[in-house]
Structure 1
Amino acid sequence: MQARLARLAGFAESDVLRNRLKRAAPLLARLPLDQANIDQPEWAALLDAVTVQETRMFRAAPQLAAFRTQVLPLLARRGALALVSAGCATGEEAWTLAILGTGAGVPWQVEGLDLCRPALQAAMAARYRLGPPDALREVTAEDRALLEVAGDWFSPAPALRAAVAFRRANLLDAALPDRAADAILCRNVLIYMTEEGRVAVLRRLAAALRPGGALLLGPTDRPPKGLGLVPWSRDLVGIWRRDMADG
């Protein structure tokens, strides 16, 4: 079963996956093993049950601060920005990108992609608990001005919503058109995948970037050679640039 899931969604065969499959035992009994597809209802339900959805607003804030000050202004010189959260979970990362986009000085749009249907529903609803722990602990006072807080909940301000969209997609497939994005965030996703799956996803993400575009990865994620990705600079950990010569 784990091998079938690995082929379908690139998941690594790990203790995390094994434990989640144990909890999803009632779903396993109903699986049509000859119809493994992310859109097949029983398989889709299993994928909903085993995917990891840990995220929050401005998670890994130092990397995002560097992206905001050193990368985003250069991308904005080319005009309107297309920003992508790949593996967006419940959407906080996509809404974080929206806040960053508002300060870029050019039109922007954000697309969030994920495999898990309940997570995408939460992302579109965009209504989150404040905690504990404090869900906004990495958000500055200035950025909180673009969030609406009421009681124990917060939501992105209406000004952000028109330019943010969410879509169900398998990152192993061609989820994005070639050269469509100026920046893609894909953090804490690849660590749950097989090596083959990681390389396949990185290849697709690199192809989806416009030449000179930025790919933000987790600190332990390092793209293999041959994908046209180079470190943005020596000082920016986890931020990669699609080589201009690759375009």
Structure 2
Amino acid sequence: MEETLRDLELVMAAHREALAQMRAQQSPRRAAAPVVTSDPRALLMQALTQDIERVSGIEMTGMMTAKLNRVLSSVAPSELEAWVSTLRRLPPTHPEWLSLIEALTVHETFFHRDRAQLELLAKLLPELVADIAGAGRHKLRMWSAGCATGEEAYTLAILALLALRDAGHADDTTDGIVCHRPWSIDVLGTDISRLVLTQAKAAVYSTEGLSSFRDLPPMLQRFFPVMPRTRETGDIEIRGVVPAVRQHVRFEHFNLMSGAPPETGFDVVLCRNVLIYFTAEARFKAQLGLRRALRPGGILLLGPTDSLADADAYDLRWGPGAMAYVLKSTSHG
């Protein structure tokens, strides 16, 4: 009981810290107030920000609106009007929309991000694997929604391999961890940006500066061997994801505002550090899609400042400094 209370105190402390961070961010992220103006360009930009929110779900705060103005600052008024008019007639999946959203979105991520939450997931995976085996299945399916350059998706694959190894369904080899037949792992990474998905599929990352490896536990470095230097990389050290991990991960373009999820029946769904940029309406819509993607008993992990839209649909699982949600069997649909 004392250990349980200590863990609960850590969870609450993490929530207080997240709330404090969210409050600290409220000032720079405050939604831009509509400007009362007769300036045609300003009116056009106001309409465009509303279109961006509708298409992408991104909340056009004062900071984001300023960024949009910078992106389009060199476009002449007549050209801007013609471009916006054309843009409005295009579907959300058109390259013109995608390139604009690409210019506005943030793609900062790294391996093993939010370690406390991943440690909680690692503790929940043995029960999940046993549940899958008990149902006569042999595939562990995971979705990284808003995967950016792929670090989270590959992290999930590693955690899944370790869980199957510990359960006796995979072996350590010189090439990495190999699943026993008929067991397999399927990790789907999706993002609205086609550019970052290209980087994710390449599965190579620099170790320079604030690199993708800055919070990687030493025991996991074996999954990222140093790549041979080339003329393009010069003196920069590059690490690649081993094939034994890479083969379990695939990437697809997907907009969380699409409504229906890309697939259903996932055992684990992660959507972290994405919804914070969405409007309230978009957050609700996205979370509905996340819930529909999960199978009953599946695990949902959100970002530390994200509020669960449908708490009654989930059972809470918590650990030191982290929380996860398990979809109730009566709440699917």
TM-score by length of 2: 0.69
Amino acid at match of 1:209: L
- The 2-side partners of 1:88 and 1:172 are apart by 15
Report the secondary structure of 2:257's partner residue: coil
Q: Secondary structure at the match of 1:104?
A: helix
**Residue in 1 that maps onto 2:168:** none
Q: Give the letter aligned to residue 87 of structure 1.
A: G
Rounded to whole Å, the distance in 2 between the matches of 1:206 and 1:96 is 22
What letter matches 2:101 in structure 1? L
SS at match of 1:124: helix
Give the letter aligned to residue 13 of structure 1.
M
Of 46-55 and 132-141, deviating more is 132-141
Q: Which residue of 156, 161, 167 corresponds with 1:97? A: 156
CA contact (8 A) 2:116 2:321 kept: no
In the other structure, the counterpart of 1:211 is 296
Q: Does 1:166 align with 2:214?
A: no
Cα displacement string for residues 220-241 of structure 1 (whole angstroms, at most 9, x for unaligned residues): 1121236612322475633111
Matched, 1:15 2:62: yes
- The offset of 1:5, in angstroms, is 0.5
1:80 aligns with 2:80: no
Correspondence 1:1-247 to 2 at 5 A? 1-25=48-72, 29=80, 30-31=83-84, 32-68=86-122, 70-77=123-130, 78=132, 79-105=138-164, 106-150=183-227, 152-173=237-258, 174-178=260-264, 180-225=265-310, 228-233=313-318, 237-247=322-332
SS at match of 2:322: coil
Mark the structure with the bigger radius of gyration.
Answer: 2
Q: Higher helix share goes to which structure?
A: 2
Q: How far apart in 2 are the matches of 1:17 and 1:35?
A: 23
- Read off the aligned partner of 1:12 and give its amino acid letter: E
Q: SS at 2:255's partner residue?
A: coil
Q: Structure 1, unaligned stretches of length 5 or more? A: none
CA distance in 2, matches of 1:236, 1:73: 20
Contact 1:218/1:238, CA 8 A, preserved across alignment: no
| Whole-Å separation in 2 of the counterparts to 1:164 and 1:225 | 29
Percent identity reads: 33
CA–CA distance in structure 2, aligned partners of residues 81 and 225 of structure 1: 25
Find the aligned partners of 2:248 and 2:270 in 1 and give their Cα distance.
17
Q: Which structure 2 segments of 5+ residues have no match?
A: 1-47, 133-137, 165-182, 228-235
Q: Which amino acid aligns with 2:223?
A: L
Answer whether contact 2:116 2:322 (CA < 8 A) is retained.
no
Residues 120 and 323 of structure 2 are in contact (CA less than 8 Å); yes or no, is this contact kept in structure 1?
no
Q: 1:227 to 1:172 in 2, by over 3 A?
A: farther
One-letter amino acid of the structure 1 residue matched with residue 105 of structure 2: T
**TM superposition shift of 1:96:** 0.8
Contact 2:120 2:318 in 1 (8 A): no
Deviations 1:2-60 (A, max 9, x none): 11010001111213422331232158833414324222221121112111101110111
Matching residue's letter, 1:147: F
Cα shift at 1:100: 0.8
Q: Across the two proteins, how many residue pairs are aligned to each other?
A: 245
